[in-house]
Amino acid sequence: MTGERPTSMRTGLCGRLGVDDVGTRVALCGWVARRREHGEHLAFLDLRDHSGLVQCVVDGAVEVRGEDVVRIEGEVRRRPDGTVNPKLATGEVELHDCRVEILARAETPPLPIEERNESDEALRLRYRYIDLRRPRMQRNLRLRAVINSALRRAMERNGFCEVETPLLWAPTPEGAREFAVPSRLHHGSFYVLPQSPQLAKQLLMVAGFDRYYQIARCMRDEDPRADRQYEFTQLDLEASFVTQDDVLGFVGEAVADASEAVTGARPAEIGRITWADALDRYGTDKPDLRFGMELVELSSVFASTSVRAFAAPVVKAIVLEGGGSLGRGRIDALVDRAKELGAAGLAWFRVEGGEGATALDSPLAGHLSPEERDGLLAATGAAEGDLVLAVAGDDHHLVCRVLGTLRVQLGGQSVADGPHRYVWVVDFPMFEGLDESGTPVPAHHPFTMPHRDDLERLETDPMSVRAQAYDLVLNGWELGSGSVRIHRADIQQRVFGALGIAPDEAQGRFGFLLDAFRYGAPPHAGFAIGLDRMVAIFAGEESIREVIAFPKTQSGADPLTGAPKPLADGVLRELGLAPPPKRT
Ligand code: ASP
């Protein structure tokens, strides 16, 4: 028998038994997955532990029920001819001559323990300890452990030192809403649960740790959804005396190790795309490279058009292969979707075979000049049976994003599908746009180093400044992000200036980091990978809740413990959150 080391209670695991064990006496422990009567005197029990099931032939008088916890001693034998179960890993053998010891009784479980479970999620979470007995959940959480372990080993191989950072902390600059923890000893003051160990890991660089990592829990008080929970886990890392290329190398290696540990195959070297290219070609900074359908430039085709819908500086399109068969209802829904996303409209063209020539079917077809019609077909490469969807506008980002969203809606695949296609998105812009007062809005935290070549334009043309910031994207999901940090006070002052953060405000918010930087800060850079998302993709799960042991519901509640819960008045008073009782 292969598997775990025997314990005083058992010789091995249920799911590992095979023909090699025939003739040996074993002791197994687990839960009764199923009981079937076989005549008057015999019963078949399926015994389950985390490794799988094995069939045990027991005395029919033994009183055990589903989910009772038992220890069974018996002899392994081949199943009689005709009773082999090829669907079960242990299906060639069974235990006979069994002695059954009941270790604990179980009530009827409120959920079926099956691979697929259609039960209401709130019920699954209320009884999560039963839900987690299901093979699928066992697989998901064990897969998570395999990924964690591979990442740790890769980090350690490259000299990264694991350091734990505080959970009771001060506000961090990631920009999400934070959870606050009231202080009992300092009424009216609060700790903040970290959105990430960002500032702590930068302090560790000043402290000379050189390379730090941590599988870190992070907390953000943002509404939960399929790919977001209040609490999430990151592989967080930071290194000194490195450039962007070095960080991409470390992270790429760790991710490749984790992929290989799970799938057995090492992914190809991760390619790079600039943020500007990603937007241009895929309409998003999280491109899903499992399929083509790239955005096509049509601005030059319609440069001097008389078609009102296309008289705009930016005209782009996507082609849905075979989409010509889409009915008007579906096309109208796409038009509505594009408008919802902010486009003025969505032009569509069904490509049809005419008398010896390709024809376009569209409300706009009659308005296009022959050159525009030919130009559209040539640029898009659309062929008979395809559907071309075009958006025009003044705002390049908006046009790209609308088509990028339609691209994923029409061509996208589920997380469980297809190969794992990683890509680095590099050269993010430093700023996202301007706020109402005309101040640039940062795209990253304020310690992100501007691109060396763009630094001189920080004050004169901030929107053209790129950041030394990078994301790792897998199958259209942002897996992680990081940046080279600012370690020089003069550049930091200029960035704060560009962001409209006054020196005293900076000192108030991040004074402890700025102080530390006065005592010798090495150049440093880092990254964080979202582990919940990564595991979900490898597990083929749409929701990260399926790869977290005890997640919260979409409304942030925990049906298992009943959290969040009111606190007793006495506790509130102790925390300074309720007035003292009135004297009578
Ligand atoms: N702290 C960043 C985050 O949590 C990652 C990084 O820049 O290292 O997204």
Q: What is the pLDDT, as a whole number, of residue 235?
A: 98
- 270 alpha carbon – ligand 1 mean position (Å): 20
Q: Does residue 564 have a cis bond before it (omega within 30 degrees)?
A: yes
- 571 alpha carbon – ligand 1 mean position (Å): 35
- 242 alpha carbon – ligand 1 mean position (Å): 16
The closest residue, in CA terms, to atom 8 on ligand 1 is 527
Q: What is the pLDDT, as a whole number, of residue 1?
A: 44
Q: How does strand 347-353 pair with strand 358-361?
A: antiparallel
- Rounded to whole angstroms, the Cα distance separating 468 from 428 reads 7
- Structure-block tokens of residue 396: 């390049």
Q: What is the pLDDT, as a whole number, of residue 3?
A: 53
Provide the whole-model pTM.
0.92
Classify residue 181 by burial, with Cβ atoms within 10 Å: 0-12, 13-18, 19+: middle
From edge to edge, which strands make up the β-sheet containing 161-162?
161-162, 211-219, 231-240, 524-530, 477-484, 469-474, 422-426, 271-274
CA-to-CA dists, residue 308 to 65, 116, 344, 400, angstroms = 74, 53, 11, 20
Q: What is the pLDDT of residues 414-423, one digit of tens each?
A: 777 778 899 9
- Structure-block tokens of residue 289: 């490279």
99: amino acid identity, one letter:
R
- Rounded to whole angstroms, the Cα distance separating 367 from 373 reads 9
Q: What is the pLDDT of residues 289-329, one digit of tens each?
A: 999 999 999 999 999 999 999 999 999 999 999 999 999 99
Pocket of ligand 1, candidates 445, 524, 529: which has the most ligand atoms within 8 Å of its Cβ, to mutate? 445
Pocket of ligand 1, candidates 198, 204, 231, 428: which has the most ligand atoms within 8 Å of its Cβ, to mutate? 198
Residue 147's CB: how many other CB atoms inside 10 A?
25
- Structure-block tokens of residue 327: 């009915």
C-alpha angle 217-470-169 in degrees, rounded to nearest 5 = 30
- Rounded to whole angstroms, the Cα distance separating 449 from 466 reads 9
- Rounded to whole angstroms, the Cα distance separating 529 from 535 reads 11
Contacts 24+ apart (CB under 8 A), 351-359: 351/324, 351/377, 351/382, 351/383, 351/384, 351/385, 351/386, 351/387, 351/388, 352/324, 352/384, 353/384, 358/383, 358/384
**Collapsed DSSP state (helix, strand, coil) of residue 462:** helix
- Rounded to whole angstroms, the Cα distance separating 491 from 246 reads 22
- 529 alpha carbon – ligand 1 mean position (Å): 8
- Rounded to whole angstroms, the Cα distance separating 70 from 314 reads 70
- 205 alpha carbon – ligand 1 mean position (Å): 15
The closest residue, in CA terms, to atom 7 on ligand 1 is 482
Q: What is the pLDDT of residues 241-276, one digit of tens each?
A: 999 999 999 999 999 999 999 999 999 999 999 999
The closest residue, in CA terms, to atom 9 on ligand 1 is 481
- Rounded to whole angstroms, the Cα distance separating 318 from 149 reads 42
- 409 alpha carbon – ligand 1 mean position (Å): 29
What residues flank ligand 1, with Cβ below 6 Å?
Answer: 174, 196, 198, 481-483, 526-528
- 307 alpha carbon – ligand 1 mean position (Å): 46
The closest residue, in CA terms, to atom 6 on ligand 1 is 482
- Rounded to whole angstroms, the Cα distance separating 418 from 416 reads 7
147: amino acid identity, one letter:
I
Ligand 1 atom nearest the C-alpha of 201 is 8
- 530 alpha carbon – ligand 1 mean position (Å): 10
Ligand 1 atom nearest the C-alpha of 444 is 7
Of residues 432, 535, 426, 525, the one with CA closest to residue 477: 535
- 196 alpha carbon – ligand 1 mean position (Å): 7
Residue 184 C-alpha from the chain's centroid: 36
Q: How many Cα atoms sit within 13 Å of 459 on the Cβ side?
A: 6
C-alpha angle 315-320-326 in degrees, rounded to nearest 5 = 115
- Rounded to whole angstroms, the Cα distance separating 211 from 156 reads 10
Classify residue 420 by burial, with Cβ atoms within 10 Å: 0-12, 13-18, 19+: middle
Ligand 1 atom nearest the C-alpha of 198 is 1
Mark the ranges of the chain whose per-residue pLDDT is less than 70: 1-3, 354-356
Ligand 1 atom nearest the C-alpha of 483 is 7
Contact 458, 495 (CB under 8 A): yes
